[in-house]
Chains A and B, each alone.
Chain A
Amino acid sequence: MTMVIETQQDLVELTRRIRRHVVQMVYDAKSGHIGGSLSSTDLLSVLYAKHLRHDPGNPSWHERDRFIMSKGHCTPVQYALLAEFGYFPIQELSTFRKIGTRLQGHSVLGKPPGIDNSAGSLGMGLSFGLGLRLAQQLQELDESRVWVLMGDGEQNEGQVWEAAMSAAHHQAEGLVAIVDRNGIQNDDFTKATMNSEPLHEKYEAFGWTVLSDIDGHNLDEIDRAYDWARNQRGAPVCLIFDTIKGKGVSFMEHNPAFHGAPPSDEEFTLAMVELAE
């Protein structure tokens, strides 16, 4: 079953359901990463609904766009989207992080089908996406694109900048880096832990075409940014979205406590009330 998003209301509803799945999964598993899943829910919902060329009925379709989840701890949002789009039954989300599941805590390539990379150690996804994109170019897959989601904390990793340098060197047009700039990493705010700014200027200096200060929770702005990115030529594109960690649940928003901790029973109840229809 492939979901059809026809109206703006359909899309808004999708993001609400995804957020509910995310909170439910992490609550059920008693572990997992809510904050960064919620900050990227709108980014990925628009991507999967309107921009990513994919076929849930044929996950290994060779000419598909590849979505690379570099911040591999944010699997809840990707699993929720894959389930909503029919890659596997929604009921399977309840197996997240449990023994025997296909839905491991961090991404495993091919498990379930639709997951196109392994992740968990940060900083590798952009390089992996670059290899994929250069292969697409070699194979003359002109319509295909590679979209890589990274966190802003992840920008601390040196390998990101090796990838940035080489993607520009190889003129990897069609490679789109999406930065979920929510301002919080594992222990604290990014500005306290390791300030990676100014990201826009850094990517630009490395030779990328950059768009920043995009509202990562405005579905229209996200939509326009992806449209723009798909059609850029000559260089890889970096989209830097300003987001809110924990977006959608008031007491999780901008709160470093909800990077990798599950909600309590009371917090879960409150969150689901806030995310109700």
Chain B
Amino acid sequence: MATAEVHPLAATREAVGPTLIRLQKEGNNLVVVDADLGKSTSARKFRDEFPERFFSFGVAEQNMISAAAGFAAAGHTVFATTFAVFAEHAFDQLRMSVAQPQLNVKLVASHGGVSTGEDGASAQSIEDIGVFSSLPTFTVCTPADVVESEAIIEVATKTPGPFYVRTARPKTPVIYTDGAQFELGRAHMLRDGGDLTIVACGLLVERSLRAAEQLAKEGLEARVLNMSTIRPLDVAALEGAARDTGALVIAEEHLSYAGLGGMSAHALASVEPVPMEFVGVNRYGESGTWSEMLELMDLTPDGIVTAAHKVIDRK
């Protein structure tokens, strides 16, 4: 059973550049396009190894995305990298140039969530998963740790079609110390329990494990699902959790109604409706450290425990 005990720290964004280098060395036909944030996304490392396959488009995300679609139309697997908030700049380009023709563009955006803390509300990406999930041909994933980040980049490379992958800035504990368990479109059960299920994605997975440990001390056993693929959602896993545990808490570093929370409720409503509570963002943030932002928004183990109590009371 996985726990959130002390593990090495790493940021999910750190996997991007090194993994792309490895995948290109293994014979994939990659191109990486960048909008002047390659140092932060780690994509710039790819440039050092494969300068002829790395294209800077400057601070111009719309042009970058349509150009990425052009590279894909010529046969390349294209990774487009920037920050999550700036990727939204190119929504229509992603819609018409990428999503509709289903071109092989992988948008890997860093600094998702409120983890850009001090930069303030404009830099905090709380809408991206909803925005890109609204494109029906996109696969949307967010890793829970750096190990899963590498696995998602690899699967995205080998799976045709548009992807959105949200990575994050802060160094967070490694969960998958024994190797990734990522399977596209499948939730991964990190812990089983019969009293409720906590469904989480991204950096809230580790916090959900800590919440589950707190709950266990009270005698409440929580199943914890890492829903690292948000689209297509693993409806079977949600349905099973609803049937087996009768109550769900959905935890994410994102607007709840537009993210994993809203999509899970939508999926369950017609198959296995059960009481649900949502731990997520519901307003724009402000300047502060990442942990201060998480406290402010109740995206904490304590916040998840409180939601767990509420949902169990409603069973």
Which stretch (B91-99, B219-227, B250-258, B296-304) binds chain A? B91-99
In the complex, what residues of B have CB within 8 A of residue A156's CB?
none
Query: Given that A130-B67, A134-B67, A138-B31 are known contacts, is A166 also in contact with B60, CB under 8 Å in the complex?
Result: yes
In the complex, what residues of A have CB within 8 A of residue B95's CB?
121
Query: Given that A135-B75, A166-B60 are known contacts, is A127 also in contact with B70, CB under 8 Å in the complex?
Result: yes
Q: Chain B's nearest CB lies how many Å from the CB of A135?
A: 3
Partner of B63, one of A116, A118, A119, A163: A163
In the complex, what residues of A have CB within 8 A of residue B67's CB?
127-128, 130-131, 134, 163, 166
Nearest residue, chain B, Cβ from A116 = B73
Query: Given that A159-B63, A162-B63, A165-B58 are known contacts, is A132 also in contact with B71, CB under 8 Å in the complex?
Result: yes
CA distance A178 to B107 in the complex (A): 30
Within 8 A of A (CB), among B58-103: 58, 60, 62-76, 92-93, 95-97, 100-101, 103
Chain B: how many interface residues by the 8 Å CB criterion? 30
Partner of B69, one of A66, A128, A159: A128
Q: Is A120 an interface residue (CB 8 A)?
A: yes
| A124-B66 in contact (CB<8A) | yes
Q: Is B188 an interface residue (CB 8 A)?
A: no
| A159-B70 in contact (CB<8A) | no
Which stretch (B49-57, B177-185, B262-270) binds chain A? B49-57
Q: Is A110 an interface residue (CB 8 A)?
A: yes
CA distance A109 to B64 in the complex (A): 19
CA distance A62 to B68 in the complex (A): 18
Q: Chain A's nearest CB lies how many Å from the CB of B209?
A: 42
Give per-residue flags for A101-134: 1 if the beta carbon is below 8 A from chain B beta carbons, else 0.
0000000111000001111110011011111111
Q: Chain B's nearest CB lies how many Å from the CB of A142?
A: 14
Nearest residue, chain A, Cβ from B60 = A162
| B63-A121 in contact (CB<8A) | no
CA distance A136 to B57 in the complex (A): 17
CA distance A116 to B93 in the complex (A): 16
Nearest residue, chain B, Cβ from A146 = B70
CA distance A135 to B52 in the complex (A): 10
Nearest residue, chain B, Cβ from A138 = B52
Q: Is A191 an interface residue (CB 8 A)?
A: no
Within 8 A of A (CB), among B249-308: none
In the complex, what residues of B have CB within 8 A of residue A62's CB?
75
Select the residue from B58, B68, B96 with max chain A CB neighbours within 10 A: B96
Within 8 A of B (CB), among A31-76: 62, 66
In the complex, what residues of B have CB within 8 A of residue A134's CB?
55, 67, 70-71
Query: Given that A119-B96, A138-B31 are known contacts, is A131 also in contact with B66, CB under 8 Å in the complex?
Result: yes
Nearest residue, chain B, Cβ from A70 = B66
Nearest residue, chain A, Cβ from B61 = A162
| A117-B74 in contact (CB<8A) | no
| A128-B75 in contact (CB<8A) | no
In the complex, what residues of B have CB within 8 A of residue A169's CB?
58
CA distance A158 to B100 in the complex (A): 22
| B93-A166 in contact (CB<8A) | no
In the complex, what residues of A have CB within 8 A of residue B103's CB?
109
| B74-A127 in contact (CB<8A) | no
Q: Is A139 an interface residue (CB 8 A)?
A: yes
Q: Which residues of B contact A (CB under 8 A)?
A: 31, 52-53, 55, 57-58, 60, 62-76, 92-93, 95-97, 100-101, 103
Q: Which residues of A contact B (CB under 8 A)?
A: 62, 66, 108-110, 116-121, 124-125, 127-136, 138-139, 158-159, 162-163, 165-166, 169-170
Nearest 3 CB-CB pairings of A with B: A131-B70, A135-B74, A127-B66
21 A-B pairs in the complex with CB atoms less than 8 angstroms apart = A108-B101, A118-B97, A118-B101, A121-B95, A124-B97, A127-B64, A127-B67, A127-B97, A131-B67, A131-B72, A132-B74, A134-B67, A134-B71, A135-B70, A136-B74, A159-B62, A162-B62, A163-B67, A165-B60, A166-B60, A170-B55
